[in-house]
Structure 1
């Protein structure tokens, strides 16, 4: 089984447990988004969880101390389970996968946008509306500035890539001038 299959299996297990007997999937979403933000902001914690040389009991205790008063007990037990099984290194991926699966289940699609410059809120909203019209559903938009782009932006929605960069424009112009 590949790593991404393991991650999705763990994420689906947590979400199914939350839907059946737990706090509900929105509480899990909130906890997983908070966990993702924590791991994104703390390289030390991320490195700690990736260190396979550490005793699993130490990792389990650390997770419990860090998140005991911040997460639903079901989610905390899930974190303990991952630690006991030596899978704490997958925690960031599982958290992201939980949010993605919940989005899929509710018909929300995620689009990644890389732009040469920071986009204004109006530009972001206009892009979200266009992508929503294209996909026929709600869009969650993640933007980032990519200094390697000379101008324009690239949007990825699932397997579809919309390349509106200056380089792509110049390539198309060059082809049309060459007659090809």
Structure 2
């Protein structure tokens, strides 16, 4: 959950993007920026380091992103760098995404399985979740072999766990309660 500072910056960015009818584009580009920072944590450290002059940081941002993103979004990155808030960019991105999803009737669903799901099964699950939530669904999948089988689905703050690991654990707990 993003903090209040991140939410305010994200809200300001979202309002500008929405007015310009570029809210989806900004989400895509901001997400890409956050992925770059996640893959290159030293890059974010450079932008956060107080001993490096602001002009140098802004030059680096321009060199890396000027040709890759909307000018307003680049200016936003330079502003949050100037205000020493660049370290919160991931939280800002998350808050922006939440606003975009809420306003556009989108639900993010995460499905974790023991084995990778086929394309057909993934699409079937996405369609089922669209019916359950009544929203468009962005389905993210992950693999966790420790589940043994079944599926764990997370929607909003709810989790539906039908994994074999959980069922075996529940059975073991019932047996130990029965025997004890």
Q: CA deviation at 1:27?
A: 2.5
My pick for the range that moved more, 31-40 or 167-176, is 167-176
Map 1:31-180 onto structure 2 (within 5 A). Answer: 31-49=29-47, 51=49, 54-174=52-172
My pick for the range that moved more, 61-70 or 44-53, is 44-53
Q: Sort the Cα spacing of 1:53 and 1:158 in 2 relative to 1 into closer, same or farther, 3 A.
A: farther
Q: CA deviation at 1:146?
A: 2.4
- Per the normalisation by structure 2, the TM-score is 0.83
Q: List alignment gaps of at least 5 residues for structure 2.
A: none
The separation in 1 between residues aligned to 2:150 and 2:119, in whole angstroms, is: 16
Q: Is the 8 A contact 1:32 1:96 kept in 2?
A: no
- Per the normalisation by structure 1, the TM-score is 0.83
Count of residue correspondences: 177
Q: List alignment gaps of at least 5 residues for structure 1.
A: none
Q: CA deviation at 1:86?
A: 0.2
